[in-house]
């Protein structure tokens, strides 16, 4: 396969399926930039909460979105997002954000805004990008799609090991049933069970498929 002008490797899957760790390490292997779409939704959720907004009120969320000054770019090989000049990195995994991010992410205007940020960023670099609708909605044209999954009990245990208390079953239900860009498996995505493989096993499985498609690691 001839390498396209810009390579986009889409890593999708439910909460705690290992997307972030796999995507970061895969980007290092191939010398690509790394994009975390979830951090953008979390950043805007933080913004809503920091303005004393109700994350479960879509009208209020849309109003805050209209007034927010959002910018994004790359710091080295990793993407970042700023809202009103602030990068809220330290707050992205707070309990308040964990409880609210799924609700904020269901608002169509929010998804459209983040969608546009992601598309603009990917025009600049070869990227590995992870999220819940990357291969199905944001970059359906990419031939490099992977869907990571694991049993709920495994993912809940991972979440608790990270010190986070959000309920995985509830996150799955919200993400899969939202009207805008629900969590689905793209028909052409390669599904990998991260509950049965360690990190290197997952990375090797993805790298081998990419190598068969003509992509090489930086050490090759």
Domains of the chain: 7-32+126-220 (3.40.50.300), 37-125 (3.40.50.300)
Q: Which two tokens stand for residue 59?
A: 């009208």
Distance (Å, whole) CA 12 – CA 32:
17
The answer to whether the beta carbons of residues 128 and 34 sit under 8 Å apart is: yes
Nearest to 203 by CA among 10, 27, 6, 61: 27
Which position has the higher pLDDT, 173 or 141? 141
Mind listing the pLDDT tens digit for each residue in 41-63?
Answer: 999 999 999 999 999 999 999 99
Q: How confident is the model at residue 2 (pLDDT cuts 50, 70, 90)?
A: very low
């Amino acid at each position: 396969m001839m390498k396209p002008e810009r390579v986009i490797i889409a890593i999708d899957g439910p909460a705690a399926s290992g997307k972030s760790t796999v995507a970061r390490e895969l980007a290092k292997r191939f010398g690509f930039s790394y994009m975390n779409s979830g951090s953008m939704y979390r950043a805007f959720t933080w913004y809503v909460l920091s303005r004393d907004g109700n994350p479960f009120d879509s009208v209020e969320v849309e109003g805050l979105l209209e007034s927010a000054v959002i910018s994004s770019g790359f710091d080295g090989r990793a993407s970042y997002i700023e809202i009103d000049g602030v990068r809220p990195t330290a707050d992205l995994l707070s309990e308040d954000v964990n409880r609210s991010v799924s609700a904020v992410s269901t608002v169509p205007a929010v998804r459209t805004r983040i969608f546009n940020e992601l598309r603009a960023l990917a025009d600049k670099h070869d990227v590995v990008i992870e999220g819940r609708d990357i291969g199905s909605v944001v970059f359906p044209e990419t031939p490099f799609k992977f869907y990571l999954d694991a049993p709920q009990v495994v993912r809940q245990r991972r979440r608790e090991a990270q010190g986070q208390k959000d309920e995985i079953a509830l996150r799955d239900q919200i993400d899969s049933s939202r009207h805008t860009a629900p969590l689905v498996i793209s028909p052409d995505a390669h599904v990998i069970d991260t509950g049965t493989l360690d990190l290197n096993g997952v990375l090797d499985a993805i790298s081998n498929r990419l190598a068969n498609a003509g992509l090489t690691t930086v050490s090759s």
